[in-house]
Amino acid sequence: MPYSDEQIRRLFVALGYAKKIKTECFGELEYPRPEVWDFHRSKARIKVALAPARTSKSFAGSWDMIPDILDFDKPEKHLIVGPDYDKASKEFNYVADALVHRRDEAKRKYGLDIPEPVQYYNTPKTGRMQIVWPWGAELHAKSAAHFSSVIGESWGVALLSETCELGPE
């Protein structure tokens, strides 16, 4: 990964991930929490987020892919696999929101220039979810029910969505 921890932090601020949140009970909190930053800073080949339900595992996992997708010098195909297309769409939408829908805001506020995708399909009902950028990076969301569609491909990063629902295949 070509980005330093500080560059990733600035990237996450520009795209709206890193921010301060006001809460009624705890006052102002930094998001992501320090434990989540540890997850993002990890250089481990395989990362596993273990946390209770509703604690942003999918959100953090999706955002963890973004610096790899934005590696202009090493464009790769990236994969999200869920038990079905609908469940894989959650993580896909987090990345699409950051790198497709927030591009103009990130450029206006922070000068971050992310080129517009050359292909963008987001139709979970038909199983067609992919984004292709001009530098060659790709993001695909697939269903484990059709796992043969991911075999034989070379993937840079793979994110397993709702892993406990995936079968042994």
At residue 164, the pLDDT reads 76
User: Who's near 33: CB < 8 A, 6+ residues apart?
Assistant: none
Cross-strand bridge partners of residue 22: 28
> Could you identify the residue written with the tokens 């079905």?
84
Q: Count other C-beta atoms under 10 Å from residue 105's C-beta.
A: 13
Distances (CA, A) of 13 to 6, 8, 9, 56, 65: 11, 9, 6, 17, 15
Q: Which of the two residues, 164 and 45, has the higher pLDDT score?
A: 45
User: Who's near 124: CB < 8 A, 6+ residues apart?
Assistant: 85, 86, 88, 89, 141
Overall average pLDDT of the 161-168 stretch: 79
Q: Count other C-beta atoms under 10 Å from residue 36's C-beta.
A: 22
Q: Which of the two residues, 1 and 73, has the higher pLDDT score?
A: 73
pLDDT tens-digit map of 94-153: 999 999 999 999 999 889 999 999 999 999 998 899 999 999 999 999 998 877 777 777
pLDDT tens-digit map of 41-82: 898 888 988 877 767 889 999 999 999 999 999 999 999 999
pTM of the model: 0.89
At residue 30, the pLDDT reads 86
